[in-house]
Amino acid sequence: MSIFKGSGVALATPMKENGEINYESLEKLIEAQIEGGTDALIVCGTSGEAPTLEDDEHLKAIAFAVKTAKGRVPVIAGTGSNNTAHAVMMSQESEKLGADGLLLVTPYYNKATQDGLYVHYRKIASSTALPCIVYNVPSRTGTNILPETMARLACDQENIVAIKEASGNISQVAKLAALTDGKLDIYSGNDDQIVPICSLGGIGVISVLANVAPRETHDMVMACLDGNYEEARRLQLKALPLVSQLFIEVNPIPVKAALNMQGFNVGTPRLPLTELTAEHKNSLRKAMEDFGCL
């Protein structure tokens, strides 16, 4: 059974000036997302700056999201790591905190073999009863999980139920869909490929765009799932200039600037990420104004 269908927001983590997590702003973000039609909250992923969160604050943020959501939408915890044992620990702790699912990024830097990826994911998934989403983003991790490996995992591990596909390779997504034949939920991991991936059988997106345009992102996916591809295409093409600006510097630098423009007071990213440049702020603001989310 799917964890969710539709738009899952890859939620940014608000920070205070002293670098601590701003829970007042996080609550406002979560409420705005639910009110805006977002179908799931993905917390402490890449957009949530997981690499610079200490374990205790990472888990505290997950617990806070679960408490704030109150079961209205699923909360999916980012617990992936390039250290399998660490991912197991974070996954088990997130299950205790009431998370509804896990997002597990492909191990980064180690550059595991396909067999290593298979064992890694089975080890994590078998340590928890929660449904697991594999996150394939080779541009950030240096490793691509192949369709054959994902098909093997979907067949052999019952609670590996989905993939967030951010390879950018539509041919790879098509092969994955063919090999898994409905046994694996596919979410777009790229906001400029929501409609193409849904046309191949995908059921949604895990989205950066949804941070600033939750209703439009939700509506785009639902138009696809309802078979209204003319409307879905219109929304996808309308969003492209804004999506481009949201990745004009490495994520989540631009989306935090965008949320600040919307008044959410999310602060700046933690080092080594820095604040969006003034030039890029101007182009981002224009794209948001043109899109109608500012």
Beta strands at 40-43 and 6-10: parallel, antiparallel or unpaired: parallel
Separation of alpha carbons 11 and 9, rounded Å: 5
The Cβ-side half-sphere exposure at 247, using a 13 Å CA radius, reads: 12
Nearest to 11 by CA among 219, 266, 262, 263: 266
SS3 (DSSP) at 26: helix
Where in the sequence numbering do the catalytic residues fall?
135, 164
Percentages helix, strand, coil for the chain, rounded to the nearest 5?
50, 15, 35
Gyration radius (Cα) of the chain, Å: 18
Nearest to 164 by CA among 139, 186, 193, 141: 186
Report the greatest alpha carbon distance in the chain. 50
SS3 (DSSP) at 33: helix
Separation of alpha carbons 193 and 170, rounded Å: 8
Joined together, the tokens standing for residue 276 give 């969006």
Give the 3-state DSSP-derived string for 233-286, with helices as H, strands as E and coil as C: HHHHHHHHHHHHHHCCCCCCHHHHHHHHHCCCCCCCCCCCCCCCCHHHHHHHHH
Nearest to 167 by CA among 189, 147, 150, 148: 189
